[in-house]
Amino acid sequence: MALKATIFKADLQIADMDRHYYQDHALTIARHPSETDERMMMRVLAFVIHANEALTFGKGLSADDEPDLWQKDLTGAVDLWIEVGQPDEKRILKACGRSARVVVYCYSPTTHIWWSQLGSRVERAKNLTVYQVPAETSQALAALAERTMQLQCTIQDGQIWVNSQGHTVHIELTRLLGAD
C-alpha cells in the first residue's frame, strides 16, 4: 500500500516591501512521503518570495512534468516555474523551454558541488535564475514546520524574515545565476 501525503496548513501574512505586496494566504500543502520538512519549508519560502494570486503548488516530486510551484497566465502559458533542491540539467533546460521564467532555490550543504558541475551547462538559459539558501537557514526554517502554522513573512531590501510563535529566521539569498 502506498503512503499518503501529509497535509500541512499554513496561514501566511506577507509584507513584501520590495514589491509593495501585502497579502494573507491560507495554504494547504501536501508533503510527499519522501519529502522532508526542510524541503517543504523551502517550497513555502519560494511561495513567500513570489507570492501572487496565480501562484500555485505543482505536483513536484510526484510528477516529472510539473514544478514545485508555478504561475500560469490566463491562456495557460507558464509565466513562472520554480524548482526547489538540485534539479538536473535536463529538467532545468526543459523548464526553461516551457516557461517565461525559471527560478531554482537550492539549499543543500553540497550545493557548491552540484553548481560546479552544472553551472556552465545551464548558464546559456537566459530565463533562468538560481539562488542558494544557506543550509543552516533552511534547517532553521524546517524547525518552524508544524501541521498548522501561522507565519509572518517580511521582505525588505532583499532580506527575508519568517516568524512563527516568536521564533524568527533571517534569510539571505545568494544569487548563483541570473539577473534581478
Count the Cβ atoms, other than its own, within 10 Å of residue 94: 16
**What does the pLDDT read at residue 122?**
96
Write the DSSP symbol of residue 36.
-
**What does the pLDDT read at residue 4?**
85
**What does the pLDDT read at residue 137?**
97
At 67-120, the pLDDT tens digits run: 999 999 999 999 999 999 999 999 999 999 999 999 999 999 999 999 999 999
Average of per-residue pLDDT values in the chain: 94
Predicted TM-score of the model (pTM): 0.94
At 46-74, the pLDDT tens digits run: 999 999 999 999 876 666 779 999 999 99
Domains of the chain by range and CATH?
6-177 (3.10.640.10)
With pLDDT > 90 as the criterion, what percentage of the chain qualifies?
89
Quick one: pLDDT band at residue 160, thresholds 50, 70, 90? Answer: very high
Query: Contact, 128 vs 96, CB < 8 A?
Result: yes
- CA 59/CA 52 separation, integer angstroms: 18
Average pLDDT value for residue range 146-153: 97
With pLDDT > 70 as the criterion, what percentage of the chain qualifies?
96
